[in-house]
Amino acid sequence: MNKLSSLIKGIILLLAYLVVQLLERQGVLLPYHVQILSLCCINVILVVSLNLINGFTGQFSIGHAGFLAIGAYASAYLTVVWQAPFLFAIICGGVLAGIAGLAVGLPALRLRGDYLAIATLGFGEIIRVIILNTDAVGGARGFSGIPKYTTFGLAYLMAIFTVVVIRNFVTSDYGRACLAVREDEIAAESLGVNSTYFKVLAFTIGAFFAGTAGALFSHYLQYMAPTPNQIGFVKSIDILIMLVLGGLGSITGSIVAAITLTIIPELLRGFAEYRMIIYPILLIIVMIYRPAGLLAGNELSLSGITQFVKGARAHGNHT
Amino acid sequence: MSHVKLKTMFICLMLVVALAVPGFAQEDVIKIGLITSLTGSVATYGQSVRNAVTMGVDDINAAGGINGRKISLVILDDKGDATEAAQAARRLIDRENVAMILGPVITPCVMAVAPIAQAAGLPMLTPTGTGDQITSIGDYIFRGAYKDSFQGRIMAQFAAENLGIKEAAIIYDVANDYSVGLRNAFKATFEELGGKIIAEESYSTGDTDFSAQLTSLAMRNPESLFIPDYYSTAGPILMQARLLGLDSVMLGVDGWDSPDLSALAGGFEEGGYIVNHYSADVDSEVTQNFIARYTEKFGQAPDALAALGYDGVLIMASALEAAGSTDPEALKHALGTVGDIDAATGVINMDPEGTPIKSAVILRITGGKWELVDRIDPIGR
Give per-residue pLDDT as tens, B324-356: 989 999 999 999 999 999 999 988 999 988 999
Q: Which pLDDT belongs to residue B206?
A: 80
Q: For testing the chain B interface, which of A131, A222, A276 should be mutated: the one with the most B CBs within 10 Å? A: A222
> What pTM was estimated for this model as a whole?
0.85
SS3 assignment, position B32: strand
Count of CB atoms situated within 10 Å of the CB of B27: 9
In contact, A105 and B140? CB cutoff 8 Å: no
Distance (Å, whole) CA B77 – CA B40: 10
- Is B307:B52 a contact under the CB 8 Å cutoff? yes
Whole-number Å distance between alpha carbons of A313 and A308: 9
Q: Residue B117 is part of which domain span?
A: 29-145+283-350
Question: Which residues in chain B are contacts of A30 at CB distance < 8 A?
Answer: 94-95
Please provide residue B102's backbone torsions phi and psi, each rounded to the nearest 5 degrees. Answer: -105, 140
CATH of the domain at B235: 3.40.50.2300
Q: Are residues B304 and B247 in the same domain?
A: no
Question: What does the pLDDT read at residue B23?
Answer: 40
Gap from B1 CA to chain A (nearest CA, Å): 34
Instruction: Flag whether pLDDT at B38 surpasses 60.
Output: yes
Asked if the structure places residue B14 within a domain, the reply is: no
Peptide bond into A228 cis (omega under 30): no
Residues B371 and B255 grouped into a single domain: yes
| B114 and B243 co-located in one domain | no
Residue B308's pLDDT is 94
Same domain, B234 and B368: yes
- Do the bridges between strand B273-276 and strand B360-366 make them parallel or antiparallel, or are there none, so unpaired? antiparallel
Cβ–Cβ < 8 Å for B112, B85: yes
| Number of independent structural domains in chain B | 2
B378 part of contact set with chain A, CB < 8 Å = no
Q: How many helices (H) and strands (E) does chain B have?
A: 12, 14
Contact B112 A223 (CB under 8 A): yes
A27 interface with B at CB cutoff 8 Å: no
pLDDT digits (tens, 9 = 90+) for A186-219: 999 999 999 999 999 999 999 999 999 999 999 9
Of B20-29, B68-77, B131-140, B160-169, the poorest mean pLDDT is in: B20-29
Residues listed for chain B: 381
Contact A237, A45 (CB under 8 A): no
Q: Is B38 exposed, middle or buried (0-12, 13-18, 19+ CB in 10 A)?
A: buried
Mean pLDDT of B127-151: 91
What is the spatial distance between Cα A239 and Cα A262, in angstroms, rounded to a whole number?
Answer: 11
User: What phi and psi, each to the nearest 5 degrees, are found at residue B98?
Assistant: -75, 160
Rounded CA separation B118/B135 (Å)? 11
Backbone angles phi, psi at A128, to 5 degrees: -60, -45
Q: Between chains, do A221 and B91 touch, taking CB under 8 Å as contact? A: no
Give the rounded distance of the alpha carbon of B44 from its chain centre: 13
For A120, residues 6+ apart whose C-beta sits below 8 A from its C-beta are A60, A61, A62, A63, A64, A66, A104, A108
Is the same domain home to B90 and B214?
no
Q: Are residues B72 and B132 in the same domain?
A: yes
Query: What is each CA distance from B132 to A138, B150, B178, B259, B300, in whole angstroms?
Result: 13, 9, 9, 27, 31
The rounded Cα A285 to chain-centroid distance in angstroms is: 23
Cβ atoms of A50 and A166 closer than 8 Å: no
Give the helix/strand (H/E) hosting B15: helix B3-26
pLDDT tier at B5 (50, 70, 90 boundaries)?
low
Q: Is B73 at the interface with chain A, CB within 8 A?
A: no
Contact in structure between B31 and B97 (CB atoms under 8 Å): yes
Q: Are residues B117 and B249 in the same domain?
A: no
Cβ neighbourhood burial of A41 (10 Å; 0-12, 13-18, 19+) = buried
Q: What does the pLDDT read at residue B22?
A: 41
Instruction: Note whether B143 and B125 are within 8 A (CB).
Output: yes
Averaged pLDDT of chain A = 90
Length of chain A equals 319
Question: Is there a contact between A227 and B95 if contact means CB atoms under 8 Å apart?
Answer: no
Is residue B6 a part of any domain in this protein?
Answer: no
Domain ranges of chain A: 32-318
CA B335 to chain CA mean position, Å: 16
pLDDT of residue A212: 97
Cβ-defined contact of A273 to B39 (cutoff 8 Å): yes
pLDDT tier at A282, thresholds 50, 70, 90: confident
Chain centroid, CA B86 distance in Å: 19
B121-134 mean pLDDT:
92
pLDDT exceeds 90 at position A124: yes
**Residues B368 and B247 both lie in one domain:** yes
pLDDT for position B11: 53
Non-local CB neighbours of B45 within 8 Å, separated by 6+ positions: B37, B105, B106, B128, B305
Distance, in Å, from the CA atom of A100 to the CA atom of A94, rounded to the nearest integer, reads 10
Which residues is B76 bridged to in the sheet?
A: B35
**Residue B249 in contact with residue B364, Cβ under 8 Å?**
no
> Are residues B141 and B153 located together in one domain of the fold?
no
In a domain, B19, yes or no: no
| pLDDT confidence bin for A283, thresholds 50/70/90 | confident
Is B24 domain-assigned?
no
The 10s digit of each residue's pLDDT in B184-208 is 999 999 999 999 999 999 998 888 8
Is the minimum CB–CB distance between A183 and chain B shorter than 8 Å? no
List CB contacts (< 8 A) between B39 and chain A: 273, 275-276
The average confidence (pLDDT) of chain B is: 88
**Cα–Cα dist A217/B66, whole Å:** 40
CA distance B108 to chain A (A): 6
Q: Using CA atoms, how far apart are residues B185 and B191, in angstroms rounded to an integer?
A: 10
- Alpha-carbon Rg for chain B in angstroms: 24
**Is residue B22 in some structural domain?**
no
Tell me which fold the domain A32-318 belongs to: ABC transporter involved in vitamin B12 uptake, BtuC (1.10.3470)
Is residue B330 situated within a structural domain?
Answer: yes
pLDDT tier at A236, thresholds 50, 70, 90: very high
First to last CA, chain A: 32
Name every chain A residue with its beta carbon within 8 A of the beta carbon of B77. Answer: 269, 272-273, 275
Q: In this predicted complex, what is the ipTM?
A: 0.85
pLDDT at A256: 93
Which of A72, A182, A147, A31 is closest to B87 using CA atoms?
A31
